[in-house]
Copies of this chain bind each other. A is one copy, B any other.
Amino acid sequence: MSEFSQVTVVREANIFFDGGVTSRTLIFPDGRKKTLGIMQPGEYEFTTHSAELMEILAGDLDVQLPGADDWQTFAAGESFEVAAHARFGLRVRAVTDYCCSFL
């Protein structure tokens, strides 16, 4: 297990796709933000505002990165980056725990 210390956590969850994707927002002392989230099995599409680093803590999913035709598989311990203002697709096979860092 790992921890983030000295952070502020927004109490209310971010809820997307009728609960298919949910997360909590963490704000760090230097103003950086991360979300810790859960993706239920299903297909989702997100568009970023700022660039993001998505770290997979547990789970199994395929990701179609911006501009790509193919889908890449990601599992626990792996990560991917998405540029700002870019669309990416997710096919989640197993409940997936993730950490999203806004870059």
Q: How far does the Cβ of A83 sit from chain B's closest Cβ, in whole Å? A: 24
Query: Closest approach, in angstroms, between the C-beta of A98 and any C-beta of chain B?
Result: 9
Interface members, chain A 15-39 (any B CB < 8 Å): 15, 18-19, 22, 24, 26-27, 36, 38
Check if A40 sits within 8 Å of B19, measured CB to CB: yes
Q: Is the CB of B5 within 8 A of A5?
A: no
A19 contact set on B, CB distance < 8 A: 38, 40, 95
Contact A12:B6 (CB < 8 A) given known A24-B36, A38-B19: no
Q: How many residues of A contact B (CB 8 A)?
A: 28
Is A70 at the interface (CB under 8 A from chain B)? no
Q: Which B residues lie within 8 Å of A51 (CB)?
A: none
B97 touches A12 (CB 8 A): yes
Query: Which 8 residue pairs across A and B have the least CB separation, nearest first?
Result: A19-B95, A5-B8, A13-B97, A2-B11, A22-B38, A4-B9, A3-B8, A12-B57
